[in-house]
Amino acid sequence: MDWKEISAEEAEKHPAYGFGGGLYVVYAIVILWSLHSLYIVFLDTGYKLTLSYGYENLTMADFTCFIQFILALPFLYLAPKLHPTMPSVALSLFSVNWAIWFTFGMITPRAIPMSVLVSVVTLGILLYLMNSARVNVTYRNRVKA
């Protein structure tokens, strides 16, 4: 997709500027997923939820959930602050998260359904962050050419 650079002042006047729209949905998904990860690490003491996903290595599940929580923090901080590095940072972090889930799903065959679900959601988030008019206007100061 072709993009045209605009000034910061033009971007702020654009109707798609700001934290809103589909970005709210992405933000809510990341908050829920972060809470889910924290639940697994700290509150899933009997590993009922973890085992229901098909995971066999419970220590690895705790570790990867903790890593996923840490990976979400920069996005959760930068997105509402309208920080210009947010899309690049988020694309990197969500790509690592996707790699973790994809790998975990391949290591533990019973976890493939959850791995596929998370992969699809992550791919959707990545595509949104790359192609969204709101993200491009707000964070990258560019519009569709």
Long-range contacts of 38-46 (CB under 8 A, 24+ apart): 38/65, 38/69, 40/65, 41/65, 41/66, 41/69
Token couple for 42 = 């700290």
Q: Where are the domains of the chain?
A: 3-144
Q: Give mean pLDDT in consecutive 10-residue pieces for the chain, a chain of 145 residues.
A: 92 96 96 95 92 84 90 96 96 89 73 83 94 96 94
Return the C-alpha torsion angle 119, 1, 11, 18, nearest 10: -20
pLDDT of residue 108: 74
pLDDT of residue 110: 79
pLDDT of residue 105: 66
